[in-house]
Amino acid sequence: MTIRDFLRIMRQRWRWLLGTLLIVLIAAAVSTMLQPKTYEASARFYLAGSNGQGTPVQRDDLATYAQVVSAPAVQEVIRKQAKVGPTAAVNVNATLSDTANIMTGTASSGSAQEAAAIANATGPALAAVAPQFSQLLSGAGSVTSTAVQPATVPSSPASPDIKRTLELAFAVGLLLGVAMALLRHFMDNRVRTVEDLEALVQRPVLSIVPRVGSGQRVVDTSDSPSGAMVEAMRRLRTNVKFVNVTNDVPAVVVTSARPGDGKTTVAANLALAMSRDGHRTLLVDGDLRKPGVASAVGIDGSVGLTNVLVHELALKDVLVEPEPSLPLFVLPAGPVPPNASELLGSAAMRNLFQELVAEFDFVVFDSPPMLPVVDALELEKLAGNLILVARGGQVSRRELQVTLKALETVDANLSGTVLNYADSFSDDYGYGHKYGYGEQPPAARGQSRRTGKRG
């Protein structure tokens, strides 16, 4: 893994990194707040013999004092000197300076005032109990204590150290966050990036379609459309022209592995982009199970392809122009038939297809997704070109692999792929005879009209 790959993974999985870091920081902060506070106070004092001459206490004797400061006899005196309750614990230790006969008494307590009082009482208490340890001491029989630096009441607890704890928690949380991001990346089975899609499908990515903030997925039909969505469709239109050079049939089938990947809106936007480029374009709703083109472009879809295939209506009677200023025509699906696959694979459909490619410069078919049904393969036999739409962050590698296997089985021509959506959405979808998928954008702004009258 290169540094670029690592940074790309962190950029993609920043939520895992940030979430783990916040959890560790919050846990550390809560744990620190729940811990009892301990205050520390230190007092420095000088011990001398009280024989009238101020004889210094020998260092060996001072070392003995430092050892006996935790003895019960000494702590009892400290408790009385500091006016601490008889049941309260006295936590104190004494250290001797390396360069002078100065001792330092350090006390810790849950109360800041109590810690200072115990530290200040350590010197007088050691001096008071000196006769009890006379067999360990030399020189004068009694000792006096002189305060060099009295203890003051601490303003903040010595423990827990919130700043140090949070600094350590930040370092640990950052490492755990990186580990979680990497683990999530390598365990994730979903396709998220262009690199993921190209490595799996091994076909060119014809366009990357961004998510539109307003939720509208159909390109604006105004005279001067702009925006990332429009640019993505222009790129798709141009690339489709290139991949269609070797095929004499001016038609393409748009499908997806699963419901909900946005293939209907990609097909509608591709047809709109083609028509805006001056091509007389036809958008056909070949999804006879769950039609979505009519609602996507804001037209009436009560009659359409099904009526033509069963010879109820003529083609000219069901074609619709959603925007009169553009050479764009739409053939809705019409009523939902009980035998969708049979209709799409019938001789009537083959004859109609020949009529369509002869009359229009380019034909775009919206077909059902591949995993639930095989209708898209019937349309691919006619067009010879197929575009696979993959919803980034939602479609799994397994779903695409199954789809590719189905295409290879019938030797279908997969021209390329489209990576749809920039962000992740809900991955709820259903397979089977009845399924729901695609988007339901607002109706187009222009008034639609049919090119002919109903029979």
Any idea which fold 194-450 has? Rossmann fold (3.40.50)
Which H or E run includes 42? strand 39-49
- Per-residue pLDDT, averaged over 11-33, amounts to 90
- Per-residue pLDDT at 435 exceeds 80: no
Q: In this structure, what DSSP letter does residue 455 have?
A: -
Task: Please give the full DSSP string across 104-171, using - where no structure is assigned.
Answer: EEEEEESSHHHHHHHHHHHHHHHHHTGGGGGGG--S-SSEEEEEEE-----SS-SBS-HHHHHHHHHH
Residue closest to 352 by CA, chosen among 295, 296, 401, 305: 305
pLDDT at residue 331, as a whole number: 96
Closest CA to 367 of 267, 299, 247, 271: 267
Q: Given this model, what pLDDT does residue 421 score?
A: 84
Task: Let me know if 400 is exposed, middle or buried by CB neighbors in 10 A (0-12, 13-18, 19+).
Answer: buried
State mean pLDDT over 411-431: 66
pLDDT tens-digit readout, 279-302? 999 999 999 999 999 988 889 989
Q: What percent of the chain has pLDDT over 70?
A: 84
The pLDDT-based confidence of 251 (bands split at 50, 70, 90) is very high
Q: What is the mean pLDDT of residues 240-255?
A: 81
- Predicted confidence at residue 70, as pLDDT, reads 82
Fold agreement between 39-149 and 194-450: no
Evaluate if residue 61 carries a pLDDT over 70. yes
> What phi and psi, each to the nearest 5 degrees, are found at residue 48?
-145, 155
Sorted by where each begins, the domain ranges of the chain are 3-35+160-187, 39-149, 194-450
Fold of 39-149: Alpha-Beta Plaits (3.30.70)
Choice between 332 and 131, residue whose per-residue pLDDT is larger: 332
- Work out the number of other CB atoms within 10 angstroms of the CB of residue 91: 16
The token pair that represents 210 in the structure block: 């961004």
**pLDDT band with cut points at 50, 70 and 90 for residue 184:** confident
Whether the Cβ atoms of residue 259 and residue 435 lie closer than 8 Å to each other:
yes
pLDDT of 52 strictly over 70 = no
**What percentage of residues in the chain have a pLDDT greater than 90?**
39
Average pLDDT in the chain: 82
Q: The pTM is what?
A: 0.62
Could you give the strand order of the β-sheet that contains 91-96, starting from the edge strand earlier in sequence? 91-96, 102-109, 39-49, 143-149
Give pairs for 401-407: CB < 8 Å, separation 24+: 401/200, 402/257, 402/371, 403/257, 403/370, 403/371, 404/200, 404/201, 406/370, 406/374, 406/377, 407/370, 407/377
Q: Over the stretch 63-120, which tens digit does the pLDDT of each residue have?
A: 877 888 888 888 888 888 888 877 777 888 888 888 777 889 899 888 888 889 988 9
